[in-house]
Amino acid sequence: MTETNGTPLHDLVQSWEEIQDEYDFWAPDGEHDRTVLDCAARLAADPGAGDAYVWVLGLTMMAPCTNRSGVGSRAEAEAALRAADAAQRVRPCDHDTHPYESHEGHHADAALPDLLLRIADERAEWYEQDHTRETWRCPRNVAGFARIALDILRPGEVDDVPPRLSLQDREDIEALEALLELYPKAGTDVADEIASQGGYLYHAEPAERPGRLQVVRAVSWHAVSGMIQDRSVLDRLISGVEKVLPDLAAATCDHAQHPKLSDHSTNAAELGIVLSSPAGRRLYERNPGHYGDGAPLEQLVCPAFMADVARQTLTELRAGRDKLFSPRDTSHLDAEYLRADGLLDIEKITDRLRNVSWNERYADELGLWAARRYDRLGRSEDLGQGLERVRRVRERAVLLLTAHQAMTISYPAPPYAVARDILAIMRTAAAAPRPERCAHTDAHPPLDAGDFRDGMPHFYAPDEFPPAGGAHSVQAWTCARFAGTVAEKCVGALENLYGQDDEDDW
């Protein structure tokens, strides 16, 4: 086994492998830097030496970590690798091929520690089918690996080694995949991560635009799903697409057809990032079937095709932004939820307050309509007299419960535009004065699981509907303390969703 200034090679390789495995979690630390610096110094001392392969492969293993640190060791590593490339690549040899030419990406890097020990030890078993120990040690191969390490350190600068995704691209893919699968990595700011994709497209060079556009397309579904509650996220995605569309719009092509892009957001995002760098596009061309449907690269980035993708993405993003953030008109719902005689269509409302999936489509608008009507009736000086007054008081109790329960049903969550208006009304309701004690002796109608629904038709229109569900007293239904509780619950849920600190913006 090779001795290296007293340290057995085995121990050195072990320390390098630890750094290789850990780069993902690693924050700059002196010990790692010293290990890289030591390896670089050994190579720099004699970059043309016969054992330079040891140090070159060591630096290759540690390159991701060295890249990340951006401090101390990176400049020394680069200088040593450039010197080794210059000294070794000019040596003549009889080999047709060298291992570095087929060394594909970070998966192949994982085999390097074991391989290095076998290359150095003539007595070790040799498993490599395609290349001998000797071709691994060949100066041209050593120079090739020096360039591979440089490619990891400086993506895009070296072009005669197998393409690989940059560390940054791999991390972006992982972060987006996790986010789109709804398990964002710790420390990911979801809104910011999605909005950034719009910024990348906005600033992309022409060659990177097809890839960046496909990433925006992939994240746009998540962005309009209702899970993003920050309007600026959609604004940034939209402005990215708007920026590139005019240049694409004029494009024509004679392709008989264009590829089918994946509708799986994670696959679509990955392919988009792959297409966003020269190395990624070379990678795609080497193995088109690995990503997407295997279409030729030039069809996948065809400007005429991209114009269609941009238009469609823009349409979806704009529609989503309107739906989520534009003020909603609910005046048409009077016809939906009021009867011809002006009374609430209590059966229909009660039915739509059942927490079942098919009611999700009504929930946002019903809730908003009910909250606004509740608010309007409360502001009106004239609640009427006698029977009319009784009817109005009951109606307000029903409307408040309706708004609250509709927000519970809303899926995945009430859009900002809906939540903003309802929250304002509910805050006022929650702040209204309440008596110390209830004026009734029975319990309030049950809020949990919307069980109050059972008794609501009878409470609202006792002449039309028989009593059901515990038959709470009218005083319990119309109790100011009950109303305060309902409003408070609703405020709590909506504030939880959108944060409390931006109250002033609302």
**225-256: buried (b, 16+ CB within 10 Å) or exposed (e) per residue?**
ebebbbeebbebbbebbbbbbeebeeeeeeee
Asked if residue 275 binds Zn ion (CB under 5 A), the reply is no
Residue 39 backbone dihedrals phi, psi, to 5 degrees: -65, -45
> What does the block give as tokens for 433?
């004065």
Candidate segments 33-41, 238-246, 298-306, 391-399, binder of Zn ion by CB under 5 A: 298-306
Asked if residue 304 binds Zn ion (CB under 5 A), the reply is yes
Asked if residue 438 binds Zn ion (CB under 5 A), the reply is yes
Asked if residue 302 binds Zn ion (CB under 5 A), the reply is yes
Which residue's entry shows tokens 């699968």? Answer: 181
Cα separation of 405 and 353, whole Å?
6
Contact map string, positions 14 to 53, toward Zn ion, x by CB under 5 A: ----------------------------------------
CB of 141 to Zn ion, least distance (A): 6
* Nearer of residues 45 and 253 to Zn ion, judged by Cβ: 253
Collapsing DSSP to helix, strand or coil, 374 comes out as helix
Candidate segments 134-142, 153-161, 199-207, 212-220, binder of Zn ion by CB under 5 A: 134-142
State CA 244 to chain mean position distance.
22
Looking from the CA of 128 toward its CB, the CA atoms found within 13 Å total 21
Candidate segments 267-275, 363-371, 424-432, 433-441, binder of Zn ion by CB under 5 A: 433-441
Q: Pick the binder of Zn ion from 10, 154, 231, 255 (CB under 5 A).
A: 255
* Nearer of residues 245 and 304 to Zn ion, judged by Cβ: 304
Asked if residue 138 binds Zn ion (CB under 5 A), the reply is yes
- Residue pair 232/416 in contact by the 8 Å Cβ criterion: no
**435-468: buried (b, 16+ CB within 10 Å) or exposed (e) per residue?**
eeebebeeebbebeebebbbbbbbbbbeeebeee
Cα separation of 244 and 241, whole Å?
5
- What is the DSSP pairing of strand 3-4 with strand 7-8? antiparallel
* Nearer of residues 95 and 376 to Zn ion, judged by Cβ: 95
Q: Pick the binder of Zn ion from 131, 140, 209, 458 (CB under 5 A).
A: 140
Cα separation of 413 and 409, whole Å?
8
Q: Pick the binder of Zn ion from 253, 356, 432, 443 (CB under 5 A).
A: 253
Q: How many other CB atoms are found less than 10 A from the CB of residue 30?
A: 10
Number of H-type helices and E-type strands within the chain? 24, 2
Candidate segments 143-151, 282-290, 302-310, 317-325, binder of Zn ion by CB under 5 A: 302-310
Asked if residue 494 binds Zn ion (CB under 5 A), the reply is no
Q: Pick the binder of Zn ion from 479, 487, 490, 494 (CB under 5 A).
A: 479
CB of 306 to Zn ion, least distance (A): 9
Which residue's entry shows tokens 């022409």? Answer: 206
Q: Pick the binder of Zn ion from 481, 485, 488, 489 (CB under 5 A).
A: 481
* Nearer of residues 337 and 477 to Zn ion, judged by Cβ: 477
Asked if residue 175 binds Zn ion (CB under 5 A), the reply is no
Q: What is the DSSP letter of 188?
A: -
Cα separation of 1 and 162, whole Å?
31
Candidate segments 135-143, 223-231, 391-399, 491-499, binder of Zn ion by CB under 5 A: 135-143
CB of 23 to Zn ion, least distance (A): 30
Cα separation of 218 and 358, whole Å?
27
Asked if residue 95 binds Zn ion (CB under 5 A), the reply is yes
* Nearer of residues 419 and 483 to Zn ion, judged by Cβ: 483
Asked if residue 461 binds Zn ion (CB under 5 A), the reply is no
CB of 302 to Zn ion, least distance (A): 3
Asked if residue 103 binds Zn ion (CB under 5 A), the reply is no
Looking from the CA of 449 toward its CB, the CA atoms found within 13 Å total 2
Give the CA distances from residue 371 to residues 357, 415, 457, in Å, rounded to whole numbers and listed in that order: 22, 15, 19
Q: Pick the binder of Zn ion from 71, 86, 93, 227 (CB under 5 A).
A: 93
Q: What's the distance, Cα to Cα, between the start and end of the chain in Å?
A: 71
Which spans of this chain sit near Zn ion (rule: CB under 5 A)? 93, 95, 138, 140, 253, 255, 302, 304-305, 438, 479, 481-482
